[in-house]
Structure 1
Amino acid sequence: MAKQFPALDEAHRKFIEEQHLFFTGTAGPEGRVNISPKGMDSLRVLGPNRILWMNLTGSGNETAGHLLEANRMTLMWCSFTTRPLILRAYGFARTVQPGDTDWADLAAHFPAHRSARQIFDVTVDMVQTSCGYAVPFMDYREERDTMQKWVDGKSDEEIRAYWAERNQTTIDGKPTGVAD
């Protein structure tokens, strides 16, 4: 049975911190809905109604483009172990780019990562838990090192060139705000 809450409580926060994987969901007023799996050490719960997510370089940049048009975001976690549970945090997000005045303060919450494109500062206005009875059991083995190897093989200039080539527009052709 789904339950709704106005904010994250300590049990929600503990559950989030135990998960190795989360999903993000965004959509502009038109076009495709984007749902992406995320991992690595890229998420922080700062309070009952605030979550930071550091977005690292990827093949697309849908979230940033969607937030320029509609600042809605949903984050979701699933338990793949023991107690079945799905937790969703619904809210509104603002995009912070490298070079923005509050970038350094927000980035200080995370390990330094050369391919950090944006930080999404999420204001949570509703939390919902549901059973997760149909979510399969899966065992966590380890983090992938593919992203870090890719970054280590590139100069800062090459990473920025990749953003310019692959991350400036969404798959629907909308701008993402990534600087040239």
Structure 2
Amino acid sequence: MGVYYENIPESMIKWALDQKVFWVSTAPLSGNGHVNVSPKGGPYFGIPDNKTFWYIDLTGSGNETISHLLEPGNGRITIMFNAFDGPPRILRFWGKGRVLENGTPAFDEIVAREKIQLIPGVRSVIVVDIHQVGSSCGFSVPLYDFKEFRTTLNDHFARKEERYLQGNEKESMDRYWAYKNAWSMDGLPGMPRGLVAAKKYSVEPIKKMVGPLAPKNGVGTRAELHISYIVIAFLVLLVALLAATHPAFQYFSAQQSIQEIMLQVRSMSGGSPSAIGLPD
């Protein structure tokens, strides 16, 4: 049975912090955009109070969450936890997300305040300002035994950072972010730092969608002008031109004016044509 709260219940905070994995879901504002769901694992999140949730955003090949949160008027985000052992439970946080990008004062401030242990490949800290919490049964969630965290991603970026520090400029995180994290799959802008690096180093972004429906970067799903709107605008313009120039339309317009005048005459008791405002 579902129960809803405005804040995270105190009894659920420790339970959430003990979980080994959670899911993040975001979406662009456009109905043509793609909903994104990402798994997040490891001890890289925190709950400083009953209205706030944060997690470390590690570098990956995609950056949908960042793009959706930075989209003007958007920022919607949902966090979901599942109980894979012990009593069943599903816990969701709904709220607005903020992207605190690596290298910004806001990033440095939260890292210091929350005592966040940084590792190679951290691109931001995502902060969720929660406005609704939901707990449900989770009776159908299967039971799993936790074995260990994967270190593949961490090891990869640790080696990448080592090669960069040894003088290999091509291994810089900025170049990686420019290549894979500057744009979303729907063509929305991604990491601001990646966008800047793309121009600075002339990095061509990776192609994230294929086929005829793949959007162009910088034309996102909201800004894309659908062909049907172009056709409608053309037809409206054509009708306006005909009405102004074609004799048939001018005759129709004159007839319409006469009909309007006659209606005014009928509606006036004892009215006379001199009392009617004739068109110029």
Deviations 1:4-53 (A, max 9, x none): 00101221111111100000011110200111000122111010101111
More relative contact order, 1 or 2 (CA 8 Å, 6+ apart): 1
**1:4 pairs with 2:17:** no
Please, which runs of 5 or more residues in structure 1 have no aligned partner? none
Contact 2:100/2:127 (CA < 8 Å) preserved in 1? yes
Matched, 1:166 2:180: yes
Tell me the amino acid that sits aligned with residue 95 of structure 1: V
1:98 aligns with 2:112: no
User: Which residue of the other structure, out of 69, 80, 84, is the alignment partner of 2:84?
Assistant: 80
2:18 aligned with 1:18, yes or no?
yes
Match of 1:133 among 122, 134, 139: 139
Q: Distance in 1 between matches of 2:123 and 2:50?
A: 25
Residue identity over aligned pairs, in percent, reads: 33
Match for residue 151 of structure 2? Answer: 145
TM-score, scaled to structure 1: 0.95
Are the aligned partners of 1:167 and 1:178 in contact in 2 as well (CA < 8 Å)?
no
Instruction: State the AA in 2 paired with 1:83.
Output: P
Task: Please point out which of 117, 121, 128 is paired with 1:122.
Answer: 128
Structure (1 or 2) with the larger CA radius of gyration = 2
| Equivalent residue for 1:112, pick from 92, 102, 118 | 118
Give RMSD over aligned pairs: 1.2
1:171 deviation in Å? 1.0
CA contact (8 A) 2:85 2:143 kept: yes
Separation in 1, partners of 2:192, 2:141: 35
Deviation at 1:177, TM superposition (A): 2.6
Q: CA deviation at 1:60?
A: 0.3
Deviations 1:49-94 (A, max 9, x none): 0111110001100000001121111100000011000000000111
**Residues 164 and 178 in structure 1, CA contact (< 8 A), matched pair in contact too:** no
Q: Does the Cα contact within 8 Å between 2:79 and 2:93 map onto a contact in 1? A: yes
| Structure 2 gaps, min length 5 | 198-280
Paired residue type of 1:29:
L
Letter in 2 for 1:13: I
Q: Alignment partner of 1:153: what SS?
A: helix
Higher helix residue share = 2
Please report the TM-score for the alignment, with normalisation by the length of structure 2: 0.62
The separation in 2 between residues aligned to 1:134 and 1:27, in whole angstroms, is 26
Q: Which moved more, 1:120-129 or 1:106-115?
A: 106-115
Greater fraction of residues in strand: 1
**In structure 2, what is the Cα distance between the partners aligned to 1:99 and 1:143?**
27
Structure-2 separation of matches of 1:125 and 1:78: 20
Cα displacement (A) at 1:169: 0.7
Q: What is aligned with 1:45?
A: 47
Quote the Cα distance in structure 1 between the aligned partners of 2:49 and 2:93. 12
